[in-house]
Structure formats: structure tokens, C-alpha cells
Amino acid sequence: MTATAPAGLDLDRLAAHLATAAPELAGGPLSATLIAGGRSNLTYRVRSGERSFVLRRPPLGHVLATAHDMGREHRVISALAPTDVPVPHTLLLCADDSVLGAPFYLMEYVEGRVFREPAQTEPLGDDGRRRLAYAMMDTLAALHAVDPAAVGLGDLGRPEGFLARQVKRWGAQLDQSRSRPLPEVDRLRERLAATIPDGEGRATIVHGDYRLDNLMCDPEGTTVRAVLDWEMATLGDPLADLGLLITYWDLVGWGAGFPPGDELVARYAQRGGADVGSLDWHVALGCFKLAVIAEGIHYRHTLGQTVGEGFERFSTMAAPLGNHGLAALKEN
């Protein structure tokens, strides 16, 4: 008999599937806990006897098309394993909805620490915070240095017209999650569509949600042990990652002891990152993405389809993000 599982995870069905699909993982009775932090795909730590691994599955209900593709996420992590980008080793992909009600995959559990709040970094001191921030930027530059074709990801996305499609795609997701007027976000959407940077930059693998709390670090914060949450990975303009990261950096306000955003950008460029000339537009795009994500989470929460705590705060995020993006475009 397995232990009681968090919502979205049937341990008896999982145990039966592992017994045939991956017997090496079925080392004993299963137990599981929901890993806090993720607000989109659900992430669980599963224990099987003495072994631990991580299970990822889509959220409960209101799943937007292509936004929670487990096969895609599994493919990207598997392809990056031999590169300089630290990722967990994948263990199993299950596309059969009958097991857990949705596709899922398993990956190794990486020991380490995720820094989610500035207070967690106080023991690092100013030097430690700078090392942590620089490790974050070095890892992003390493990702953007990977040749997609060389690791079998040359067909992961369509780089041509990437930025225009990003605005269109996130606008469509906003419409599917819309439950109330959002004039600031609508205005940002209009201005982004009207001011897309000219030309196509170098196409790289784009993480899609690269930020400090999607990194598993060593406890001292000196190295990145694993980049997590690859659900939005694609091929496109690397500045999409950098712009979103700087948006997070400015809004979270990591504050005293951490390098400012312009120093992070300089470190990225020094380590071989992309030309950062049109970064302001990409910061505005990052604001738009975060507004859409927050509104989607808010919408699922109103329908009772979220698991965990702290979702109420997402109801107030969209308008400030819209205004921040317009300010980046100098149009608020």
C-alpha cells in the first residue's frame, strides 16, 4: 500500500506503471511531496525505498495548448545532458494519459538549494551574492552558446519571425485566460506588436523562463547544479531570456549585496552572450509574458484548479507588469 499523495498524483497507478516500464525505480513503497515554487507544471519529489526522483506533470485543468508539453521538456533536458548546461538526468517519459490523467516524466533529484527570496541569500554575504549572480549569468551564456543542431534540437522551433510570434502567442494565451479587463496589459500588447525590432538575431536555444529561482545551486551559491523548468524552451532570440531575467531582477528587487541589472548584462556579454542593443524591448516583452502567466495562474486559482498556497497574490500582478513594460518602451 502506498502513502497518501498530493493532488494530481496517484501513487498506486504510478507504482504499477514503474513495475513494468522502469523496474529499477520501483524499489519500495512510494511516497511523494509537492515541491513548492512551481506555479504552472506540477513538480513532485517521489521516494521509492531509498531512492528519490522528481515527477513533472501538467497543471490540473485549463491546460493551454502546447504550454505544458511534457515530451518537449523531456527532450530538451535529455539533449542538453552532454553540454556545459547543467540539467537533471531524465529517467522516464510517459505519454499515456491513463496512468496519471496526463503525460508526465521523471528525472533525477538534484541535491542543492533554490534561492527564492533575498533573505535566503543573507548568509552568503555580498561576495557570495555576486558569485551567485555571476554563476547565473555564466550559465545563461553557456546555454546560448550551445549549437541546437549539434545536440539534436535544430527543429525545436522556428527562429524566423520568432519575436512576432511571441507577441501573438502570449496574446492568445491572455485571451484564453481572460476573466476581467486588463487595459495596461492590452496597451503593452499593442505597443510590442507595433515596435518589434528589425532583423533576426542569432538563433539559440531559449529557456523561456530563466531566473534565479529556476536554478538549483550548491548551498554556498557558487555554482549552478541544474537549470529547471524547461516547459517553454524553444529556438529564437536569446535576448528573450535576458530581457525576462532582467524583468524578474528589477521587479523582485534582490537588492543590497547583489549586482544591479546592468552589471548582470555586462557579465553576460563578457561571457559571450548576444548583442544586447535591443534589450529594452525584450524587457517589455518579459513584462507581457509575466502578466499573462500571472493572469493564467489567477484564473486557474479562481476555478479551484491550483495546488499549494500563495496563489492569491497573482491577482494583483498584471496591471503593474503592464505599466513596467510600457515604461521600458518609454510609452506609459
Residue 81 has a pLDDT of 97
**231/296 same-domain check:** yes
The least confident of 3-12, 155-164, 313-322 is: 3-12
**177/54 same-domain check:** no
Q: Residue 17: give its domain's CATH number.
A: 3.30.200.20
Q: Residue 292: give its domain's CATH number.
A: 3.90.1200.10
Q: Tens digits of per-residue pLDDT, 116-155?
A: 888 888 899 999 999 999 999 999 999 999 999 999 999 9
* Residue 22 forms part of a structural domain: yes
* Residue 2 forms part of a structural domain: no
* Residue 4 forms part of a structural domain: no
CA–CA dist 211, 213 (Å, integer): 6
Of 108, 143, 177, the domain-final residue: 108
Residue 309 has a pLDDT of 65
Residue 65 has a pLDDT of 46
Of 49, 81, 108, the domain-final residue: 108
pTM: 0.88
**145/210 same-domain check:** yes
Binned at pLDDT 50, 70 and 90, residue 1 comes out as very low
Domain limits for position 282: 118-328
**262/218 same-domain check:** yes
**34/135 same-domain check:** no
Mean pLDDT of the 252-275 span: 85
**96/125 same-domain check:** no
CA 294 centroid distance within chain = 13
Binned at pLDDT 50, 70 and 90, residue 68 comes out as low
Residue 69 has a pLDDT of 85
Mean pLDDT of the 32-53 span: 85
Binned at pLDDT 50, 70 and 90, residue 67 comes out as low
Mean pLDDT of the 298-302 span: 80
The answer, yes or no, to whether residue 4 has pLDDT greater than 80, is no
How many domains is the chain built from? 2
* Residue 273 forms part of a structural domain: yes
* Residue 34 forms part of a structural domain: yes
Q: Percent of the chain beyond pLDDT 70?
A: 91
Of 85, 108, 131, the domain-final residue: 108
**187/259 same-domain check:** yes
**142/256 same-domain check:** yes
CA–CA dist 62, 60 (Å, integer): 7
* Residue 113 forms part of a structural domain: no
**312/245 same-domain check:** yes
CA–CA dist 218, 291 (Å, integer): 31
User: Cell numbers 531512492 label which residue?
Assistant: 51
Instruction: Give 134-203 as a 3 state SS string.
Output: HHHHHHHHHHHHCCCHHHCCCCCCCCCCHHHHHHHHHHHHHHHCCCCCCHHHHHHHHHHHHCCCCCCCCC
Amino acid at 161: G
**75/186 same-domain check:** no
* Residue 188 forms part of a structural domain: yes
**94/147 same-domain check:** no
